[in-house]
Amino acid sequence: MKFAVIVFPGSNCDIDMYHAIKDELGEEVEYVWHDETNLDRFDGILLPGGFSYGDYLRSGAIARFSNVMAEVIKAAKEGKPVLGVCNGFQILLESGLLPGAMRRNESLKFICKPVELVVENNDTMFTAGYGQGERIVIPVAHGEGNYYCDEETLERLKENNQIVFRYTNNPNGSIADIAGIVNEKGNVLGMMPHPERAVDELLGSADGLKLFQSIVRSWRENHVLSS
Closest distance between another protein and the C-beta of residue 83, in Å? 21
Q: Which is nearer to another protein, 40 or 152 (CB)?
A: 152
Q: CA 74 to CA 14: how far, in whole Å?
A: 21
Q: Which is nearer to another protein, 58 or 217 (CB)?
A: 58
Residue 19 annotated as catalytic: no
Contacts with another protein in 50-79 (CB under 8 A)? 57-58, 61-62, 65
HSE value, Cβ hemisphere, 13 Å, CA-based, for 26: 3
Q: CA 111 to CA 82: how far, in whole Å?
A: 25
Q: Which is nearer to another protein, 22 or 103 (CB)?
A: 103
Q: End-to-end distance of the chain based on CA atoms, in angstroms?
A: 14
Per-residue binder mask for another protein (CB under 8 A), 12-51, x = binder: ----------------------------------------
Closest distance between another protein and the C-beta of residue 224, in Å? 39
Q: Which is nearer to another protein, 22 or 58 (CB)?
A: 58
Q: CA 121 to CA 163: how far, in whole Å?
A: 7
Choose the stretch contacting another protein; rule: CB under 8 A; options: 23-31, 76-84, 141-149, 210-218: 141-149
Q: CA 27 to CA 117: how far, in whole Å?
A: 26
Four-point Cα dihedral 96, 172, 213, 1, nearest 10:
30
Task: Enumerate the active-site residues.
Answer: 86, 194, 196
